[in-house]
């Protein structure tokens, strides 16, 4: 079992209240989860996996809040047997196990493929999770994930910041921080993945009112679960003012408001000798100018006036 030591757990920065997050997911399951973003990410990941032209005999769906990704990969030509490591027992059917993304219950080198959709943005130690995933993969195994990126819910973040400042005279964290795509690429490399790739799908969803967005976030299990959140109920005046500001600043001409979600897709491979390697510096066989068909011209001597 790949787990972190108690000392490592104590040293990591804590951003999310993980027990509260699971309660938020349980509430979303009771309400009826809103999964359109999950389904979009899952379908995209299935398409990306189809382009790999490889067979992955043993795969794990890590932390995806619903069965959307498992459903998208059911019968997929590239995937043999898929296990779910889900945050909740609700709706979990065999083969699957309730597991915390921050303490993976899989032996080193036991998996061919690890996939995850819209879950890993809420772990406290993403570098540690990526390192654990890397250890669980066999050589030339693949990791593929989708998670919310830094531009997500920027409108909501701004509206709440202004409203809370006006109504309470201060600020408290209301929207979770999300990682930038460039930082995520660097984390893949740091965790030891070969051939890391990151890209972004920017989704703008339109709602009849900000309150429809608030309802969707509850049904996604995405309500505020930050440890540093204010521990008193949100003031009605603050909520109403935030909705008013949202409508003033982020509405289209028809009155519908916009909500931006960035879905960052990550992929990386466990290193293997068969993988393509970057060329050593100075080992190129052709000059760049020749490859581009460009004509080189010498630089003028230093100190001359060419114009």
Which residues, in sequence order, are CB contacts of 125 under 8 Å at separation 6+?
4, 8, 9, 12, 13, 102
Which residues, in sequence order, are CB contacts of 224 under 8 Å at separation 6+?
173, 174, 175, 176
Per-residue pLDDT at 186: 93
- Whether the Cβ atoms of residue 63 and residue 116 lie closer than 8 Å to each other: yes
Q: pLDDT by residue for the chain (307 residues), tens digit each?
A: 344 444 444 456 788 888 988 999 999 989 888 999 999 999 999 999 999 989 999 999 999 999 999 999 999 999 999 999 988 887 676 688 999 999 999 999 999 999 999 999 999 999 999 999 999 999 999 999 999 999 999 999 999 999 989 998 777 777 777 888 889 999 999 999 999 999 999 999 999 999 999 999 999 988 877 877 776 778 899 999 999 999 999 999 999 999 999 999 999 999 988 877 755 655 556 555 565 555 655 555 555 554 4
Which residue do the tokens 């967005």 mark? 213
- Whether the Cβ atoms of residue 148 and residue 259 lie closer than 8 Å to each other: no
Per-residue pLDDT at 4: 46
Per-residue pLDDT at 89: 82
Q: At what angle are helices 18-31 and 210-219 packed, to 10 degrees? A: 110
Rounded to whole angstroms, how far apart are CA atoms 97 and 83?
Answer: 8
Rounded to whole angstroms, how far apart are CA atoms 43 and 279?
Answer: 35
Which residue do the tokens 């900000």 mark? 210
Buried-exposed string 217-254: b where 16+ CB fall within 10 A, e elsewhere: bebbbbbbbbeebbeeeeeeebbebbbebbeeebbeee
Beta-strand relationship, 194-207 and 257-269: antiparallel
Residue 235 tokens read as 């003031």
Per-residue pLDDT at 17: 87
Per-residue pLDDT at 273: 84
Question: ω into residue 95 within 30 of 0, thus cis?
Answer: yes
Per-residue pLDDT at 179: 85
Per-residue pLDDT at 6: 45
Per-residue pLDDT at 267: 96
Rounded to whole angstroms, how far apart are CA atoms 53 and 65?
Answer: 27
Rounded to whole angstroms, how far apart are CA atoms 192 and 180?
Answer: 19
Which residue do the tokens 């202004």 mark? 162
Which residues, in sequence order, are CB contacts of 239 under 8 Å at separation 6+?
163
Partners of 98 in the β-ladder: 86
């Amino acid at each position: 079992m790949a787990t972190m030591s108690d000392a490592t757990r104590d040293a990591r920065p804590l951003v999310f209240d993980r027990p509260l997050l699971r309660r938020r997911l349980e509430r979303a399951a009771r309400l009826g989860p809103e999964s359109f973003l999950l389904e979009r990410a899952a379908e995209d990941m299935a398409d990306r996996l189809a382009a790999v032209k490889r067979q992955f005999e043993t795969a794990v769906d890590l932390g995806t809040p619903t069965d959307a990704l498992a459903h998208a990969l059911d019968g997929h030509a590239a995937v043999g047997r898929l296990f779910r490591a889900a945050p909740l027992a609700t709706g979990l059917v065999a083969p699957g196990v309730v597991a915390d993304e921050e303490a993976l219950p899989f032996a080193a080198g036991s998996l061919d493929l690890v996939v995850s959709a819209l879950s890993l943005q809420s772990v406290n130690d993403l570098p540690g999770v990526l390192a654990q995933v890397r250890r669980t993969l066999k050589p030339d195994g693949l990791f593929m994930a989708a998670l919310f990126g830094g531009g997500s819910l920027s409108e909501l973040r701004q509206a709440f910041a202004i409203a809370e400042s006006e109504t309470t005279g201060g600020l408290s964290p209301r929207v979770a921080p999300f990682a930038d795509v460039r930082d995520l690429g660097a984390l893949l490399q740091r965790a030891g993945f070969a051939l890391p790739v990151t890209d972004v799908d920017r989704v703008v969803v339109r709602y009849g009112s900000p309150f429809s967005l608030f309802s969707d976030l509850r049904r996604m299990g995405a309500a505020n679960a930050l440890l540093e959140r204010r521990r008193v109920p949100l003031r009605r005046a603050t909520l109403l003012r935030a909705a008013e500001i949202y409508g003033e600043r982020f509405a289209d001409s028809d009155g519908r408001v916009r909500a931006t979600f960035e879905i960052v897709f990550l992929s990386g491979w466990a290193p293997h000798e068969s993988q393509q390697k970057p060329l050593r510096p100075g080992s190129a066989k052709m000059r760049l100018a020749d490859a581009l068909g460009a004509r080189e011209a010498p630089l003028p001597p230093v100190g001359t006036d060419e114009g």
